Amino acid sequence: MRGLDIIGASKSGTGKTASYVLPMLNKLQKIVKEENKVIRGLVIVPTIELCDQVTRTFLEFGKHLKLQVVKVQGGTPKSIQLERLKKGADIIVATPGRLQDFIRDGKVNLSNVNTIVLDEVDTMLELGFLNEIKSILKECGKPRQIMMFSATISQNIKRLAKEFLREPAVVEVSSRRDLVNVIAHRAYKVDRKRKDELVVQLINDMGIKQLLIFTNTKEGANRLFEYLKSKKIRTAIIHGDRTRGERAKALALLRAEKTQVLVATDIAARGVDIQELPFVMNYDIPQKTDDYTHRVGRTGRANHKGSVISLLTVNDYNAFSKIEKDLRMNVKREIYEGFELTDRQPRQKRPVKKTLREKKGYIDYDKKRKYTYAAQKKKRDAKKADRERRKKAEGKK
């Protein structure tokens, strides 16, 4: 409200969208002119789904205000969006690629924009939109307020902020570790060849009616989608190769519980907001902790209960252990009945008992002295042996 630049971080489902939509509406409704509309507010998001979600929030909260909100995104004919822009817009919600196209073609003027939001900015940077974001920001007017929002604050976000933000206020409402408080985590060890079979067994045994399953690749998503359909499980799918209409339909089916399972990749699922979604499953374990955070943030939203199930093959143990360490949680590895392991398991390291001094973080000076004495003795012996070699060599001469 004071016009400060902001870096805002809070876990998924806590209301980040409302935290910038409400102040923007309040600010702009005081200065916009109904007869002479120019674009004053800009929200940039990484995906079509998030673009739809943010636009819905603006329209819902601003339904009694005379503010026009227009979506600029891929997957929709440019002609339709340009027609809406010609009628006048106060706020644009856009994906970077399509907005950059309009700027390049001279179809949109951002010189009057003074309030800018980059939502899910970490995802946009991961998708390679850095140059587009920089180019768009250079087109916007000054002075301006820039706000960056994400579930986590990465080094890339800090670098971008250093270039474009003026002494930003950093508001970190909750750390990613808080996810474990609301969400129940379970992990099942399974043979690689029986993962698909276990998914079906869990869905049937637990009576799951709404489940979001994450895979690491589009190919993996397609294969799992076909397998679940063959087992008579109502399944939909979203990933980068699906059209906008197909993705929207898949989400609508899951929301209405007309499909049991939605198979998704990480990027396609950003912005997915399903009220009281009870289950998320990690079919593949992500390599990054932040990706795990975003995945599990699809459930347990707005303090509703949620459950996360992770399937672990021998190749996933290390990645999952790192995620546990980063989030300071400890998830018991279980073996589901009837799915006893036959894959060769890695050797378990025997834990070495630490002394009380080591547990408290003190240096064990006794061990240090022993180590120092041994090293010094080794050094002295090496010098002595070297001297003797030289003497023998001189005697031969």
**CATH fit for domain 6-174, picks 3.40.720.10, 3.40.50.300, 3.40.50.720, 3.30.70.1560:** 3.40.50.300
- Going by pLDDT thresholds of 50, 70 and 90, the confidence category of residue 167 is very high
Q: Of 141-155, 174-188, 346-360, 374-388, give the lowest mean pLDDT range.
A: 346-360
Rounded average pLDDT over 238-243:
81
Domain spans in the chain, listed from the N-terminal domain onward: 6-174, 177-334
Q: How many percent of the chain have pLDDT more than 90? A: 45
Quick one: pLDDT at residue 325? Answer: 87
Are 187 and 20 a contacting pair, CB within 8 Å?
no
Helix (H), strand (E) at residue 324: helix 317-327
What CA–CA distances, in Å, run from 119 to 9, 46, 80? Answer: 10, 8, 24
- Going by pLDDT thresholds of 50, 70 and 90, the confidence category of residue 348 is low
Rounded average pLDDT over 186-194:
94
Q: How many percent of the chain have pLDDT more than 70? A: 86
Beta strands in the chain (DSSP E): 6-9, 41-44, 69-72, 91-94, 115-119, 145-150, 169-172, 183-189, 211-214, 235-238, 261-264, 279-282, 306-312, 333-334
Quick one: pLDDT at residue 50? Answer: 87
Rounded average pLDDT over 137-144:
90
For residues 134 and 99, give the distance between their C-alpha atoms in angstroms, rounded to a whole number: 12
Q: Tell me the two tokens of residue 134.
A: 């920089």
The answer, yes or no, to whether residue 362 has pLDDT greater than 60, is no
Quick one: pLDDT at residue 328? Answer: 84
Q: What is the pLDDT of residues 43-61, one digit of tens each?
A: 999 888 889 889 999 999 9
For residues 221 and 213, give the distance between their C-alpha atoms in angstroms, rounded to a whole number: 9
Sign of CA dihedral 240, 242, 243, 246: negative
pTM of the model: 0.62
Q: Fold match between 6-174 and 177-334?
A: yes
Helix (H), strand (E) at residue 330: none
Sign of CA dihedral 72, 73, 75, 78: positive
Q: Of 55-64, 119-128, 136-145, 230-239, give the lowest mean pLDDT range.
A: 119-128
Quick one: pLDDT at residue 293? Answer: 82
More confident residue, 252 or 336: 336
Q: Can you name the residues that pair with 261 across neighbouring β-strands?
A: 211, 235
Superfamily of structural domain 177-334:
P-loop containing nucleotide triphosphate hydrolases (3.40.50.300)
Q: What is the pLDDT of residues 265-312, one digit of tens each?
A: 877 666 566 767 889 999 999 988 878 888 887 786 666 778 899 999
User: How crowded is residue 62: how many other Cβ atoms within 10 Å of its Cβ?
Assistant: 21
The answer, yes or no, to whether residue 20 has pLDDT greater than 90, is yes
Q: Of 52-66, 177-191, 345-359, give the lowest mean pLDDT range.
A: 345-359
The answer, yes or no, to whether residue 335 has pLDDT greater than 90, is yes
For residues 320 and 323, give the distance between their C-alpha atoms in angstroms, rounded to a whole number: 5
